[in-house]
Structure 1
Amino acid sequence: MTLPLVDTHVHLFSKALPLAAGAWTRPEGDLTTEAFLPMMDAHGVSHAVISAMSLLDDRNEYTLAALRAYPRLRGTVHVEPATEATEPTEFAGLRVNGVAGVRFQWRRRADLPDLAGPGYRALLRQVAELGRHVELNIESARLPAVLDSLLAAGVKVVVDHFGDPHPATGYANPGGAALLRGLATGRVWVKLSAGYRFRVPPARLAGYAATLLAAVGPERLFWGSDAPFVGARRPLTYRDAVDSFATTVPEPTLRDQITRASLAFYFG
Structure 2
Amino acid sequence: MIRTEAQLLPAGACDTHMHFYDHRFPGAASAVKPTPPDFSTEDYRATMRRLGHSRMVVVQPTTYGLDNRLQLAAAAEFGQDARVVVVVDETVTDAELARLDAQGACAVRFFMWKGGALGWDSLQPVAERIAPLGWHIELHIDGATLPEHLERLVGLPCPAVLDHVGRFREPAPEGHPAARALEALMDTGRWWVKLSAPGLQCSEGLRARVERLIERTPDRLVWATNCPHPGQLQPPNELEELRTWLDWIDDPALVHKIFCSNPEQLYRFRQFEDAT
TM-score scaled by length of structure 2:
0.82
For each residue in 1:88-140, what CA deviation from the matched residue of structure 2 results, as whole angstroms up to 9, or x when unmatched? 5564554333112000011236994325xxxx554222211000000000112
Which residue of 2 is the match for residue 177 of structure 1?
A: 180
1:107 aligns with 2:113: yes
Match of 1:45 among 53, 77, 81: 53
Q: What amino acid is aligned across from residue 47 of structure 2 in structure 1?
A: M
| Superposed displacement of residue 3, structure 1 | 1.1
Match of 2:18 among 10, 29, 40: 10
1:168 aligns with 2:171: yes
- Contact 1:7 1:47 survives alignment (8 Å): yes
Residues of 1 paired with 2:228 and 2:100: CA distance? 25
- Contact 2:31 2:115 survives alignment (8 Å): no
Summarize the alignment of residues 1-268 of structure 1 with structure 2, pairs less than 5 Å apart: 3-4=10-11, 5-57=13-65, 59-69=67-77, 70-82=79-91, 89=95, 91-92=97-98, 94-108=100-114, 112-115=119-122, 121-165=124-168, 167-200=170-203, 204-216=205-217, 218-259=218-259, 260-266=261-267, 267-268=269-270
Q: What amino acid is aligned across from residue 49 of structure 1 in structure 2?
A: V
Q: What amino acid is aligned across from residue 75 of structure 1 in structure 2?
A: V
Cα distance change of structure 1 residues 28 and 67 upon mapping to structure 2, 3 Å threshold: closer
For each residue in 1:45-86, what CA deviation from the matched residue of structure 2 results, as whole angstroms up to 9, or x when unmatched? 01111112012247100112233332101110011122xxx7
Cα distance change of structure 1 residues 248 and 66 upon mapping to structure 2, 3 Å threshold: same
Cα distance change of structure 1 residues 55 and 251 upon mapping to structure 2, 3 Å threshold: same
Residues of 2 paired with 1:211 and 1:109: CA distance? 32
- Contact 2:65 2:87 survives alignment (8 Å): no
How well do the aligned residues superpose, as a CA RMSD in angstroms? 2.6
- Contact 1:64 1:96 survives alignment (8 Å): no
- Contact 2:168 2:202 survives alignment (8 Å): no
Q: Secondary structure at the match of 1:24?
A: coil
Identity across aligned pairs (percent)?
28
TM-score scaled by length of structure 1:
0.84
Q: What amino acid is aligned across from residue 172 of structure 1 in structure 2?
A: G
